[in-house]
Each structure stands twice: as C-alpha cells, then as structure tokens.
Amino acid sequence: MTQDDLTITDPKMKAHGVNVFYGEKQAINDVSIDVGTDLVTAFIGPSGCGKSTFLRSLNRMNDTVASARVTGQIELDGEDIYAPSMDVVQLRARVGMVFQKPNPFPKSIYDNVGYGPRIHGLAPNKADLDVIVERALVRAGLWDEVKDRLQESGTALSGGQQQRLCIARAIAVDPEVILMDEPCSALDPIATAKIEELIHELRGKYAIVIVTHNMQQAARVSQRTAFFHLGTLVEYGKTTDIFTNPKQERTKDYITGRYG
Amino acid sequence: MNRQTAPTDWKGAVMQKRIAGRYAAERRFRLMGLGAVLLSGAFLAFLLFVMVGNGARGFMYTHVEVPVDFRAMPLTVDKTRLGDADADQVIANAGLADIVAFAADEALGTDGSKLISENAWKEVRSAIKDNPELLNARTVFDLPASSEVDIAAKEGAKGALGAKVDALEKDGKLSTGIHWPFFRNADATDPAVAGIWGALKGSVLTIFIAFLIAFPTGVLAALYLEEYAPKNRWTDLIEVSINNLAAVPSIIFGLLALAVFINWFGLCQASPLVGGLTLALMTMPVIVIASRNAIKSVPPSIRDAALGVGASPVQVVFHHVLPLALPGILTGTIIGMARALGETAPLLLVGMRAFIGDVPGGICSPSTVLPMQIFLWSDEVDRGFVEKTSAAIIVLLVVLLSMNAFAIYLRNKFEKRW
C-alpha cells in the first residue's frame, strides 16, 4: 500500500456522523472523516465553516465551552472518546494541540516543555525530564536555537520560535495525534516555512491534523484534504485529487478563488 | 466628479479661528488638570504638615527630676516578695505613692506633687522591682510631669504655673525626650501613661483575623465563580449580591456581627476575634470582586495551552491562573485590608469602643483598635490628649502607608510580563 492510497486501512481517529451544536445553533452537520496514522490531514474552508470547531471536538477542547454539545461517534484507536469511561485529561495528552496564536506559558523554555511530562508523571526524576525536554526541542527543531538559554522566559522568543516551542510542548508528552489550529496564521513567511518543514519531519511519527486558511500550505504539507463549507464536509480525499481534480462544484469554486 | 461646493479654504479666517479655538481648549484642559493635581497635592501636604507638626510632640514628654531618699522615708515591704506576681500590689499597699508625693513636695516646693503625674510613682515602683537595692539609697528619678506641666513646658504658659515651670527649667530639672511608655502602654486616663501599643496590637490582631478568614474565602469564591460555576440565573444573582454587599455601609456589618457573633454564637465581646470576623464580612466582597477581575484578565490562551497538554481543571487553576492573577488579587486584598484597618463604625457596635486599660493578651481579650483610639482620645477633656490624638493618627497613617507600599512591592515582585 502506498501512502497516497485513498482508502485508509488503519485509521488513527474515526469520526462518524458528528454534529456539534453551540446552544441552538448547529456548527457541524453530520461529518464523517477517518484520520490516517501516518498522514497529514488538512482541513480547509472559508472562515466560520466549522473546521476549527470540528478540530476542537477531536480532543474535546469544546468541553470548555458551556453551550457546546457534540453528538455522533468519534473514536481514537477504536475507543469512543465521548464515552463516560474516557478520561478527558488522558485524551488530551494522547491528542495534543497547537493553537492559532503562539501561547507559551510565561515560564522558562524548559518549564514550558517540561510541564506536560511533569503533570503526567512521565519523568520520575530530573535527568529523565532533561532527556524528554531535549528530545522534544530537537524534534521541534528548536534545540540549537535555545539550548544555551533554557531558563529564559518562553515569551521572550520570536513568534515563530514560540510556535515551535508550543509544538515541542505538545510532543513532549508523546501524543499519538497532533491537532494544529492554523499554526502559521500569526507568523511571517520564513517562520511559516520552518513550521511546514517541521510538519514534514513529524509526519509518520504522529498523526497530524492541520486547519489552514492557506490553500498552498494545505497542498504543500498534507496528503489528505477535507473541504468544509457551512458546517458540512463537502469533499474529502487525497490532497492531489482535491486540488487538481475536485469532484464537487463548490470545492472547485473555492480552490480556484471564486469565493472564500 | 463634480464638486457641489467650493473647495475648502484651509487658510481662511474661519479655519484660523477654529485652530486658535482648538489650541485654547487644549491649554484650558491642561491647566485645569494641573490645577486638580496641585490642589490634591496641597491637601496632602497640608494634612501631613499639620499631623506631623502636632503629632511629633505627642511622642515626646516632659520629665521632672525628683530625688527620693528611702533612707529618710523607708518603704516597709518584705524584699523577698518583690519577685512575686503580686509585687505591684504589695508595693502599692506599702504606700509608695505617698512617699513619692512627699518627696516631690519636698524637692519642688509647695504643691510639688501636683507637678508630677499622679501615676509617676508607678515608674518608681518598676525601678524598685528591677533593683530592690534602691530601697536603701537616695536616688534621683526622672518622673513624668503632670499633663499641665508638660503642655506648659512645650507651649509656654502664663500665671503661677508658667512661672513655676520656667523656674524648674532654669534649674535644669525639666527634660523632654521620647516617651517610651507611649509605645508600651494601653489607654489610660492620664496622658502621661496613656499609650498606643494596646490599640496597635488590637488592630494587628483584628486585621490578622480578618485576613485569615476573608482572603481564602474571597479567593476561593472568586476562583469558583470564574472557573467552575455555570453561567446561569443563579450565578448572575450571586454576582449582583456580592456587588451589593460591597456597597453596604459598614455600620450595618457591625449590627449583623452584634446579632450573629455576639448574641447568637456568644463569642467574646470587644475582642479582636469578633472585630476581625466583622471586618472579614466587610472585606470579603471587595476581595471577591478584585480577585475576579484579576482572574478574568488572565488570557484564555493560557488556559487553552494548559488544557491542551492535558492539565486537569484544578491544575490549570493552581499552576497557571492563580499565579498569574496573584498580583492583582494581592493588591485588591491589601487595599481592602487597609480600608478595614481604618474602619471604626462596625467595631463600635461589637463593643470595641470601651475604655481598655490593658494591652490585649490574645484574640479573645477585650481590646480596641487604632482608629477607635483616635476617636476616643479626640473626645477627652484633658488637653494632654490633643497631641496624643495626633500621634495616634501618625501611627495609623504609618501603618496604612506601609501596607500600601507592601502591596506595590508584591505587585512588582509577582507581575509577569509577556
């Protein structure tokens, strides 16, 4: 099986018939998507189409919104993540998240990365934590830039470095899936290129889902693309197919820039 | 495009007038602002000037040299009992007061005993307790003058008293120095021995109790309301109630405390415990409001970040939200506490306005507080209390200013920038 096969035989996450409501308003309507284990999946669509909402329902970040309600089935390795037996804290450790605006804690670089392993008890002692922090920073491509100033505040870094620090923070707890919510929208083109490069390197180690406004970015980094419009999933398929040979009229209009 | 009107004449007389008017308005506003700043500065300077000018003398007291010869006038007292707990009583019963009065008459002329404080013999007593050998010798004591002599020495006086004081001063028998009993004693009817320590200790204990109760309760309430409580009609109602509670006049809290803590629970009257509970009731809403604002100002992105790596809600609160909100919470708390420290009205009703002649021993012994002491002294007939009142005001202001300085220090220490 090649990586670009359309059928995903071993999905990491399976969503089936998912609806998300904010109070009376329905934000997501009957969406079914399989997220491949070794793939980067991109969600594209115009603002307000529900792609971020759907992303946040994959690690139950929507729980923090009092009025949000999710129906349907979302599974991680065949386990229903909305089942009462699922511990949401563990789920978020297994399904990490990187946000739109870089949001490092106002603590040192070391503490930013070490925070997750510490609260989950992944590092029994300081030496283990040092190893985890170094590995995460190396994987996030930030180690060489910060290895001499790990005790400096994470908020003193540049925007692009902050975002890579956030990625390091997410991978420090060794997640299975990383959700990225427009990770480059607050960054300049050079920082964006670095993040995209990083996504390439992380592919295969983690299942990655990325929401983006930038269609070239989706084309560059992903193997699967889902196009959302008005809360529905219009089309989902191989990225090459979506961009070169869309089946739906609405997809075609969007990627050719007729609206959105 | 066709212009309907003539092009704007930016250099015309009308425009020049507008410009001049704008500048004038700007100048007027700046002058008014400056005037306001100068006026408040003048008020502050006036207050400090008057207080320090009057109050500084309150810390000083005039003493008169009086030689007492116990060989000529023996004090018949069993020396072995001077170390006992009832030594004070034993010495008093032996007639030390009369001996000292007689010595003063002898040394200072007729009515010499009126020139020294009626409590002056107590100083002799404590000296004897410290060193019983004094009973076998002639010693010159520096005894506190009576209130009239003290004022006459400080401000000058006319008539017989003035002449007497001038004579004493010429003989070098008067001395003025820092009056340590003022910092050691509790309230008294005689300004020579009245002190601020009782009220200061009462204030410290009261504020401590109030802080111990109001701070944890207020912060926990604020955290729960901001981080956990669902937003519905009930929490709206609670929010309105807390805001209203903060606006309730303080004397009403005093009535509430009288009814609940003293009449119902039967707690000790006039004590720092009840006073502290009363002030805690009054300060808690202020702390809740300040804490909620501080918690609200913690960016939601920090909460998202912590939740995103799998922190539980309690971990989010204690690892991230509370440390970031702490400077604001502490500032609000200390300002609330400073207000409570200056509060008199609610404490009137729980009995803290009584005359308390002893320094409070614990949180359940009767006591008074600084603002109450100021109020009580300002009501005294004896002129010696006028400057005591000012001195007490200075003590209160110093305590308040140090609390505010502490608040600023804490805010700067814990403030995180990003």
d(CA B332, CA A192): 42
Q: Which residues of A touch B311 (CB under 8 A)?
A: 89, 115, 119
Give the number of A-B residue pairs with CB atoms closer than 8 Å.
68
Q: Quick check: A107 and A115 in contact, CB under 8 A?
A: yes
Q: Which residues of B touch A153 (CB under 8 A)?
A: 418
Give the nearest partner residue to A99 out of B230, B301, B418, using CB atoms.
B301
Q: Which residues of A touch B303 (CB under 8 A)?
A: 64
| pTM of the complete model | 0.82
Res B24: pLDDT: 96
> Where are the extended beta strands (E) located within A91-158?
95-98
Consecutive 10-residue averages of pLDDT for chain B (418 residues):
73 91 96 97 90 83 87 80 79 85 84 84 84 84 86 80 82 84 87 90 94 96 91 90 91 92 89 94 94 94 92 93 92 91 91 87 90 92 86 91 88 72
Res A182: pLDDT: 92
Nearest CA in chain B to A119: B311
Give chain A's mean pLDDT.
90
User: Which residue type, as a one-letter code, is found at position B179?
Assistant: H
Res A183: pLDDT: 92
ipTM computed for the complex: 0.89
Q: Is A37 exposed, middle or buried (0-12, 13-18, 19+ CB in 10 A)?
A: middle
Q: Which residues of B touch A91 (CB under 8 A)?
A: 310
Q: Do A119 and B301 touch (CB under 8 A)?
A: no
* Residue A189 clears pLDDT 50, i.e. is over it: yes
Nearest CA in chain A to B308: A97
Q: Do A170 and B309 touch (CB under 8 A)?
A: yes
Res A260: pLDDT: 55
Res B113: pLDDT: 82
* Residue A5 clears pLDDT 70, i.e. is over it: no
d(CA A186, CA A165): 15
Q: Do B418 and A106 touch (CB under 8 A)?
A: yes
- Number of other residues whose CB lies within 10 A of the CB of residue B380: 16
